[in-house]
Structure 1
Amino acid sequence: MTDYVVMFPADNEAEWELGTESDHQATFDTDHEFALLLKAGGGAVIGGAGLAHSSKARTIKRGPKSNVLITEGPFAETVEQMSGFYIVTCDDYDELVEAAQILTRAHPVVEIRPVEES
């Protein structure tokens, strides 16, 4: 079995904040449907979470002369931010990609990356 990270890198925080409870529930229902479909195919969601608003983020990066720079907020200057993720374990990458298509009902972009084995 291989682990994958399923990420939502393009959700718009402002749209989410303006959404109704019904809008939010539709997203939760879509995410739940993904998890059920994946489980039915023999995979498993082993973790995941929504992320706090990007204003709560701190970005740490190497600066000139290897100095460490810490800034408030996300590194990217954009309204689109990483909003959440799943860690998924499954045998069939293609099956995961197929199941993840459901997530585009609630998330404009879904990115899947295999986790490197150490």
Structure 2
Amino acid sequence: MPEYVVMFPADNEADWETRTEADRQATFDTDYEFGQLLAARGGAVTGGAGLTHSSHARTVKRGPNSHPLVTEGPFAETVEQLSGFFIVTCDDYDALVEAAKVLVRAHPVVEIRPVKEF
């Protein structure tokens, strides 16, 4: 069965930190609903994680003369951050996209990418 990563690249970390427990639970409930909708369409959430605060992140990139350069933060020259992801399987890509529509109630952007087996 094809595998995909469903990512949340635009969640606002500061907004999450100021939410009430009820608001956070609403996000978790939406994520759960996605899993249920996906299962009803023959797919499954097989993994995933919420990512920790970006202030604890480090970025490793190629520096001058191809030497590794480590910087503080998730600053891979992007204005967005990745707050979490699901790993899912689904034979029907359109069904996955349809199920993922519920996620935008809790996440401003949802990105779906196929996983390539090596």
Task: Give the TM-score band, short-chain normalised.
Answer: over 0.9
Structure with greater proportional strand content: 1
TM-score, normalising length from structure 2? 0.95
Take 1:77 and 1:103, find their aligned partners in 2: how far apart are those partners? 22
Partner of 1:45, secondary structure, is strand
Residue aligning to 1:50: 50
Instruction: Flag as ranges the 4+ runs of structure 1 deviating above 2 A.
Output: none
The yes-or-no answer on 1:35 pairing with 2:35 is yes
Q: How many percent identity over aligned positions?
A: 74
Residue aligning to 1:23: 23
Residue aligning to 1:97: 97
Partner of 1:85, secondary structure, is strand
Compared with structure 1, are the counterparts of its residues 3 and 77 closer, same or farther at alpha carbon in structure 2 (3 Å cutoff)? closer
Deviations 1:11-67 (A, max 9, x none): 000100010001000000000000011011110100011000001111000011101
Residue aligning to 1:63: 63
The yes-or-no answer on 1:83 pairing with 2:80 is no
Take 1:114 and 1:2, find their aligned partners in 2: how far apart are those partners? 8
CA-atom RMSD, angstroms?
1.0
* Number of equivalences: 117
One-letter amino acid of the structure 2 residue matched with residue 98 of structure 1: E
| Uncovered stretches (5+) of structure 1, i.e. residues with no partner | none
Residue aligning to 2:74: 74
Take 2:4 and 2:81, find their aligned partners in 1: how far apart are those partners? 20
One-letter amino acid of the structure 1 residue matched with residue 56 of structure 2: K
- In the TM superposition, residue 2 of structure 1 has moved relative to its aligned partner by 0.3
Take 2:38 and 2:62, find their aligned partners in 1: how far apart are those partners? 39
